Amino acid sequence: MAQVLVIGASRGIGRELAQQYIDNGDRVIATVRRAEDKEELLALGAAAVHLVDVGLPQSVSGLAWMLDGEKIDYAWYVAGVLDHQRSTNPPTQPEFDRVMHTNVLGAMQVLPQVAPMVEAAGGKFAFISSSMAQIGHVDDDHSWLYRCSKAALNMAVAAASHGWPGVLLLTMDPGWVRTTMGGSDAPLSVEESVQGMRATLAGASAADRGCLLHHDGRRADSW
Per-residue confidence band for 37, with pLDDT thresholds at 50, 70 and 90: very high
Q: How confident is the model at residue 143 (pLDDT cuts 50, 70, 90)?
A: confident
State the alpha helices, DSSP H only, in 93-143.
93-100, 106-120
Structure confidence at residue 58 (pLDDT)? 93
Burial classification of residue 134, based on how many CB atoms lie within 10 Å of its CB (0-12 exposed, 13-18 middle, 19 or more buried): buried
Average pLDDT score over residue span 157-177: 94
What mean pLDDT value characterizes the chain? 92
Question: Mind listing the pLDDT tens digit for each residue in 199-218?
Answer: 999 999 999 999 999 999 89
Find the angle CA(68)-CA(52)-CA(200) to the nearest 5 degrees: 80
Q: Are 181 and 6 in contact (CB under 8 A)?
A: no
Q: How far apart are CA 99 and CA 37, in angstroms?
A: 22
User: pLDDT per residue over 38-89, tens digit each?
Assistant: 999 999 999 999 999 999 999 999 999 999 999 999 999 998 988 888 889 8
Q: Which long-range contacts (CB under 8 A, 24 or more apart) does 136-140 make?
A: 136/221, 136/222, 137/222
Q: Rounded to two decimals, what is the model's pTM?
A: 0.94
Q: Distance (Å, rounded) from C-alpha 168 to C-alpha 206?
A: 7
3-state secondary structure of 194: helix
> Which of the listed CATH numbers 3.40.190.10, 3.30.1330.60, 3.40.50.720, 1.10.390.10 matches domain 3-214?
3.40.50.720
Measure the CA–CA gap between 206 and 72, rounded to whole angstroms. 18
In the three-class reduction of DSSP (H, G, I as helix; E, B as strand; rest coil), residue 149 is classed as: helix
3-state DSSP assignment of residue 188: strand
